[in-house]
Amino acid sequence: MSVAGFIAIAFMLTMYVLLDGYDLGVAAVAPLIARSDRERAATMAGIGPFWNGNEVWLIAAGAALFALFPAAYASSFSGFYLPLIIVLWLLMLRGIALELREHFPSEIWHQFWDAAFSASSALLIFVFGIALGNLLRGVPLDAAGYFQGTFSFLLNPYALLVGVFAFATLGVHGATFVAMRIEGELAARAIQIVAGGSWLVLILYLAVTALTVSMNAPLRAPWLFAMPALSLTALGLMWRSARAGRAREAFVMSSCFIATLLAASAGTIFPYLLPAFPARNRGISIFAAAPSETALACALTVTLIGVAAVAIYAPIVWRRMARKVRVE
Amino acid sequence: MDPVLADRLQFAFTIMFHYLFPIGTMGLAPFVAAYTWKAAHGRDEESARIAAFWTKIFGINFAAGVVSGIPMEFQFGTNWAAFSRNTGSVVGQPLAMESLFAFFLESVFLGALLYRRRGVPSMFVAWAGVMICAGAWLSGFFIVATNAWMQHPVGYRIAADGTILLQNIWAVLFSRFAYWQFAHVLCGALLAGGFIVAGVGAYYLLSRRDEAIGRRLVRAGTIVAFAFALIVVFPTGDRNGRDVTQYQPVKLAAQEGLFTTEREAPLAIIGMPDVAHKRLIDPIFVPDILSFLSYGNYKANVNGLDAYARELWPPVELTYYAYHIMVGLGTIFAAAATLAVALLAFGMLWKARWMLWILMLLMPFPFVANEAGWVAAEVGRQPWIVYGLMKTAAGGSPTVSSGETVFTLIGFAGMYFLLGVLFLYLVLREIGRGPSGSEA
């Protein structure tokens, strides 16, 4: 049952990265593609109805971690105290920017919040990438499972590279969303970013994958070797759809690409929720962190019912709201 | 500084600031849903205007609630690691349910309500309003259930290593303590919603603008405020009081400022507790009433603080004042709402401008009363983080120092200050523009 719990959390985090990933990506690429106040307003309007629901996946994953693996939740959240609080501040700033921009018809006001929105989103992607990098590499833990390192340990070259990779990947993901949801010139510029950005993503992907594999030399699961093939296929198809101007297809392929990356990451970390550095096996594994069978069963049931319900009503709402946004 | 004190200050500050917005969300959601529904069904232009007006205010309020609420789910782990590790098996469950069952529901449908896209039928928007209302109330239930478990733990067992493990989730969710506490909290929010709607309407009538809409708002608001001003006292407040009497008698003694155990205990209406000398300064007592309210019997024995070891006392002054502010304001609300409804029934309210003044000026006070109620409940729970099972002093994060928490507390203060100023400005501006200024 612990394994099912691990899968549930990995699934929710993947959903978070796919969904909130496009909002973050849109914000990060907005300075590159949206040239006028009205175009920037259109990019924000494109994600306006969705970002709040998307962000709930992160909150839900945190809550599920709390219910499923309280020990891991407690030691990782308090261990990474400052980085986590900074993430919270960035999330808050981004929410404020997104909600308040349209409340004044002043261009100065808009410019300020656009900049705050793009900067906080870009920084969030970068920080999430660094977090993932450290998760793959492992972090120094004491016997009780509390983080023992410093801020500078977390900013190691490998994690920074993953941060840059995350930035490129989600930036392209956001651009596919803009191309799909917004009409006109803005969409044309976005699709060019996708086609060109694919090459950058490819290079970074190869570098990160090579480093990850060399770090975790004896890979546990043989299926992990198949993942790069899937990732590269998705990336290739995304590039082709972008070249052909098929935005929706590019968005789907970008989502597939990200999903394969996160599946591979989850497979690499498994069975740890927080692997240790340098010896992975001193980390917090799902078997040590689980509370009790009753609690696991309850939290898993809640997760399953909750996700199933969202899977039913969210698409209904999204379809209603899916009209293309026009630059006005 | 003691690290746990810093953690408590940060939690108290962030949760109290955040809670201002859920009061508005839970209290205004039914108004938004009802007016949106009417606008979708009705032929009248006016309902559509009112719906659009409240939707805007609700949207600003909801956004501030989301933004200030982001840290809540994470603070248990960052600042209360020992508590989370020890009780997550139970406490994590209702919190997970809140995100998965309620928060998703609200957030997904909110987009449909706020960003009215071309071609989205108004019936769909009306349904979105109903769903958001359901989500907001459900969310409140799960949060209160979590708190109720900390007030009165049930449905758990203790493992060999001392960890508290979940035994029965239904016992946790449907404990009597939980549903009466939730009913009381929800009534408090609806009372606030009623007074906000009535107060805004009164403002329009006093300024002699938007008078037709103003009358509708005052009428709907005062009726709702009247109903919930009564229900918040009886039965919900009464039942909460009895649960406290039964399960947390020390809290009862601190709330009432009862230092010595008494048969035929009097109720202190006012008075200032002097903890050093264990007495109330300048009190006004009503004889025997405390015995009656607590046990339904004028002769019952009520334990005072002297019946308990000093280290089990909650901070007496804060608990006492918070409780008395809540009860005092509750009494004023009941009186004002009764008077307003009576004037309304006799058709005299529109001429009684003094009453409209009272309704307008009362607007901020339901927020004060709701917050004070929570302070009484939470400060009164001390020194326990989980009543009778775990002390607050043992709940902090072993790796987080007070210096770190003070730093992040300052950061939160700055962030919330910005949010608070923007929120107030935007809402007041929206009220200033009024329902006819907004396009329906």
Three-state SS sequence of chain B: CCHHHHHHHHHHHHHHHHHHHHHHHHHHHHHHHHHHHHHHHCCCHHHHHHHHHHHHHHHHHHHHHHHHHCCHHHHHHHHCHHHHHHHHHHHHHHHHHHHHHHHHHHHHHHHHHHCCCCCCCHHHHHHHHHHHHHHHHHHHHHHHHHHHHHHCCCCEEECCCCCEEECCHHHHHCCHHHHHHHHHHHHHHHHHHHHHHHHHHHHHHHCCCCHHHHHHHHHHHHHHHHHHHHHHHHHHHHHHHHHHHHHCHHHHHHHHCCCCCEECCCEEEEEEEECCCCEEEEEEEECCHHHHHHHCCCCCEECCHHHCCHHHCCCHHHHHHHHHHHHHHHHHHHHHHHHHHHHHHCCCCCCCHHHHHHHHHHCCHHHHHHHHHHHHHHHCCCCEEECCCEEHHHCCCCCCCHHHHHHHHHHHHHHHHHHHHHHHHHHHHHHHHHHHHCCC
- pLDDT value of position B439: 39
Chain B contact set for A146 (CB, 8 A) = 81, 398-399
Q: Please tell me the distance from the alpha carbon of residue A114 to that of residue A102, in angstroms, as a whole number.
A: 11
Beta pairing partners, B267: B286
- pLDDT value of position B94: 93
The yes-or-no verdict on residue B109 having pLDDT over 50 is yes
* DSSP tag of A220: S
Q: Is A66 on the interface with B (CB under 8 A)?
A: yes
Please, which pLDDT band fits residue B116 given cuts at 50, 70 and 90? Answer: low
Check residue B165 and give left, alpha or beta (phi > 0: left; psi -120 to 50: alpha): beta
- DSSP assignment of A107-160, as one string? HHHHHHHHHHHHHHHHHHHHHHHHHHHHHHH-B-B-TTS-B---HHHHT-HHHH
Chain B contact set for A53 (CB, 8 A) = 104, 107-108, 110-111
Chain A contact set for B77 (CB, 8 A) = 62, 66, 73-74, 76-78
Q: Please tell me the distance from the alpha carbon of residue B153 to that of residue B94, in angstroms, as a whole number.
A: 13
Write down the mean pLDDT value for chain B: 90
In degrees rounded to 5, what are phi and psi of residue B279? -155, 170
Residue of B nearest to A87 (CA): B71
What the block records as the tokens of A147 is 């983080």
The yes-or-no verdict on residue B232 having pLDDT over 70 is yes
Q: What is the mean pLDDT of residues A100-108?
A: 81
CA angle (B279, B284, B287) in 5-degree steps: 95
Interface of B with A in 119-158 (CB under 8 A): 119-120, 124, 128, 131
- pLDDT value of position B336: 95
| Among candidates A70, A309, A310 on the partner chain, residue whose Cβ is nearest the Cβ of B92 | A70
Question: pLDDT: is B169 or A324 the higher one?
Answer: B169
Q: What is the mean pLDDT of residues B64-75?
A: 88
Size of interface A-B (CB pairs under 8 A): 227
CA angle (B356, B360, B363) in 5-degree steps: 145
Q: Is the omega angle on the peptide bond into residue B383 within 30 degrees of 0, that is, cis? A: yes
Cβ pair B374, B338 in contact under 8 A: no
Chain B contact set for A106 (CB, 8 A) = none
- pLDDT value of position B87: 92
Choose from A15, A47, A50, A56 for mutation: most chain B CBs within 10 A: A56
What the block records as the tokens of A75 is 């030691």
| Among candidates A307, A309, A320 on the partner chain, residue whose Cβ is nearest the Cβ of B112 | A320
Q: Please tell me the distance from the alpha carbon of residue B58 to that of residue B61, in angstroms, as a whole number.
A: 5
Only one residue has tokens 């996160």, namely: A262
Cβ pair B77, A49 in contact under 8 A: no
Closest to A269 in 3D by CA, of A280, A255, A278, A257: A280
Chain B contact set for A89 (CB, 8 A) = 411, 415
Please, which pLDDT band fits residue A254 given cuts at 50, 70 and 90? Answer: confident
Q: Please tell me the distance from the alpha carbon of residue B83 to that of residue A18, in angstroms, as a whole number.
A: 32
* DSSP tag of A292: -
CB atoms < 10 A from the CB of A311, how many?
10
Of the candidate ranges A64-78, A149-163, A276-290, the one whose mean pLDDT is the lowest: A276-290
Q: Is B246 on the interface with A (CB under 8 A)?
A: no
Interface of A with B in 106-145 (CB under 8 A): 144
Interface of B with A in 81-100 (CB under 8 A): 81-82, 84-93, 95-100
Closest to B118 in 3D by CA, of A281, A242, A328, A103: A328
Beta pairing partners, A284: A274
CA distance A288 to chain B (A): 12
Q: Which range in A259-268, B357-366, B430-439 is most confidently predicted, on average pLDDT?
A: B357-366
Between β-strands B164-166 and B156-158, what pairing exists: parallel, antiparallel or unpaired? Answer: antiparallel
Only one residue has tokens 């977090």, namely: A131
Closest to A321 in 3D by CA, of B26, B107, B439: B107
Closest to A162 in 3D by CA, of A193, A192, A112, A125: A125
Which tens digit of pLDDT belongs to each residue from B167-189?
899 999 999 999 999 999 999 99
Task: For residue A221, give the 3-state DSSP assignment.
Answer: coil
- pLDDT value of position A179: 84
Beta pairing partners, B279: B274
Closest to A209 in 3D by CA, of A169, A149, A153, A150: A169
- pLDDT value of position A218: 57
- Would the CB atoms of B81 and A74 count as touching at under 8 Å? yes
The yes-or-no verdict on residue B73 having pLDDT over 50 is yes
| Among candidates A49, A82, A84 on the partner chain, residue whose Cβ is nearest the Cβ of B111 | A49
The yes-or-no verdict on residue A58 having pLDDT over 60 is yes
CA angle (B91, A262, A242) in 5-degree steps: 130
The yes-or-no verdict on residue B194 having pLDDT over 90 is yes
Amino acid, res. A63:
A
The yes-or-no verdict on residue B438 having pLDDT over 50 is no
Write down the mean pLDDT value for chain A: 83
CA distance A261 to chain B (A): 25
Choose from B104, B106, B417, B433 for mutation: most chain A CBs within 10 A: B104
- pLDDT value of position B427: 92
CA distance A206 to chain B (A): 34
Q: Please tell me the distance from the alpha carbon of residue A117 to that of residue A265, in angstroms, as a whole number.
A: 28
**CA distance between the termini of chain B:** 54
Chain B contact set for A302 (CB, 8 A) = 93, 96-97, 100-101
The yes-or-no verdict on residue B25 having pLDDT over 60 is yes
Q: Is A149 on the interface with B (CB under 8 A)?
A: no
- Would the CB atoms of B92 and A67 count as touching at under 8 Å? yes
Q: Is A177 on the interface with B (CB under 8 A)?
A: no
Please, which pLDDT band fits residue A225 given cuts at 50, 70 and 90? Answer: confident
Q: What is the mean pLDDT of residues A21-35?
A: 85
Q: What is the mean pLDDT of residues B211-228?
A: 93
Task: For residue A35, give the 3-state DSSP assignment.
Answer: coil
Q: Is B108 on the interface with A (CB under 8 A)?
A: yes
- Would the CB atoms of B78 and A77 count as touching at under 8 Å? yes
Which tens digit of pLDDT belongs to each residue from A208-223?
888 887 776 555 667 7
What the block records as the tokens of B86 is 């020890």
Residue of A nearest to B127 (CA): A317
Cβ pair A10, A259 in contact under 8 A: no
- pLDDT value of position B193: 95
Q: Is A11 on the interface with B (CB under 8 A)?
A: no
CB atoms < 10 A from the CB of A279, how many?
11
Q: Please tell me the distance from the alpha carbon of residue A54 to that of residue A27, in angstroms, as a whole number.
A: 14
The yes-or-no verdict on residue A292 having pLDDT over 60 is yes
Interface of A with B in 69-98 (CB under 8 A): 69-71, 73-79, 81-82, 84-85, 88-89, 91-93, 95-96
Q: What is the mean pLDDT of residues A260-280?
A: 80
Q: Please tell me the distance from the alpha carbon of residue B109 to that of residue A167, in angstroms, as a whole number.
A: 29
Please, which pLDDT band fits residue B119 given cuts at 50, 70 and 90? Answer: low
Chain A contact set for B114 (CB, 8 A) = 48-49
The yes-or-no verdict on residue B440 having pLDDT over 60 is no
What the block records as the tokens of B84 is 């989370």
Q: Please tell me the distance from the alpha carbon of residue B190 to that of residue B24, in angstroms, as a whole number.
A: 8
- pLDDT value of position B118: 63
In degrees rounded to 5, what are phi and psi of residue B218? -60, -40
The yes-or-no verdict on residue B392 having pLDDT over 90 is yes
Q: Please tell me the distance from the alpha carbon of residue A208 to that of residue A200, in angstroms, as a whole number.
A: 12
- pLDDT value of position A73: 87
Which tens digit of pLDDT belongs to each residue from A152-207?
888 888 889 888 989 888 888 888 888 888 877 888 888 888 888 888 888 888 88
Only one residue has tokens 């929010």, namely: B189
- pLDDT value of position A220: 63
Which tens digit of pLDDT belongs to each residue from B305-326?
999 999 999 999 999 999 999 9
CA distance A103 to chain B (A): 8
